[in-house]
């Protein structure tokens, strides 16, 4: 979703996710997550998704960290000139 709308999506809990995306209700997954578009120029080419095991109210430090991570990933994506779909689990 983040890539399609070009804006970050901050999901603070499973209840928040289920309210936003009813089709995901009951599906196992992270308790909280953020999806951030990777912009190359004005185009969202991919997204970084970070999940958390516990519900989380994202404070300014969290938001700064994820924005910085997404910016660095977008720079790397722009430098490679292309992209392959991949998943990195840390």
Tokens representing 55?
């519900």
Closest by CA to 55, choosing from 11, 27, 13, is 13
pLDDT bin (cut points 50, 70, 90) of residue 88 is very low
| pLDDT tens per residue, range 12-36 | 999 999 999 999 998 888 999 999 8
Note the pLDDT of residue 37.
85
pTM exceeds 0.85 for this model: no
pLDDT bin (cut points 50, 70, 90) of residue 44 is confident
| pLDDT tens per residue, range 62-84 | 999 888 888 888 888 776 665 55
């Amino acid at each position: 979703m983040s890539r399609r709308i070009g804006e970050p999506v901050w999901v603070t809990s499973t209840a928040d996710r289920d309210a936003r995306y009813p089709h995901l209700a009951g599906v196992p997954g992270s308790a909280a997550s953020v999806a951030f578009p990777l912009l190359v120029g004005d185009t969202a080419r991919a997204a970084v998704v970070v999940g958390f095991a516990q519900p989380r109210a994202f404070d300014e430090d969290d938001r700064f960290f994820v924005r910085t991570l997404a910016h660095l990933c977008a720079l790397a994506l722009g430098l490679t000139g292309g992209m392959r779909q991949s998943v990195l689990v840390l």
